[in-house]
Structure 1
Amino acid sequence: MKVPRSFLPHRVTVERYRGEGPIGSVYWPPGDPVAALVSETVRTVRDRTGAEVTSTAQIITAPGLDCPAQSRITLPSGRITTALHVASHTAPGLPVPQSTEVMCE
Structure 2
Amino acid sequence: MSAIPQWLMPHRITVEPYEGDGAYGPTYGPGAEVAALVVEARKRVHDREGRAAVATAQIITAPGLSCPPESRVTLPSGRVTRALAVTNYTAPGLPVPECTEVMCQ
Question: Once the two structures are superposed, what CA deviation does each residue of 1:35-92 show, in whole Å capped at 9, x if it has no partner?
Answer: 0000010110111111110000010000000011100000000000000011100000
Q: Find runs of 4+ consecutive structure 1 residues off by over 3 angstroms.
A: none
Gap runs ≥5 in structure 1: none
Work out whether 1:39 is the aligned partner of 2:34. Answer: no
Alignment-derived partner of residue 4 in structure 1: 5
Q: Which residue of 1 aligns with 2:81?
A: 81
- 1:29 is displaced (CA, Å) by 2.1
Alpha-carbon distance in 1 for matches of 2:43, 2:68: 20
- The count of corresponding residues between Structure 1 and Structure 2 is 104
Question: d(CA) in 1 for partners of 2:64 and 2:94?
Answer: 18
Residue 20 (str. 1) matches residue 25 (str. 2)? no
Whole-angstrom CA distance in 2 between matches of 1:52 and 1:101: 18
One-letter code aligned to 1:47? D
- Corresponding position of 2:49: 49
Separation of aligned partners in 2, 1:83 and 1:10:
17
The Cα RMSD (Å) is 0.7
Query: Could you tell me how far apart the structure 2 residues matched to 1:58 and 1:19 are?
Result: 23
Q: Distance in 1 between matches of 2:30 and 2:98?
A: 27
How high is the TM-score relative to the length of structure 2?
A: 0.96
Identity %: 58
Point out where structure 2 has 5 or more consecutive residues left out of the alignment.
none
What secondary structure does 1:86 align onto?
A: strand
Cα distance in 1 for partners of 2:31, 2:62 equals 18
Q: Which amino acid aligns with 2:53?
A: V
TM-score (norm 1): 0.96
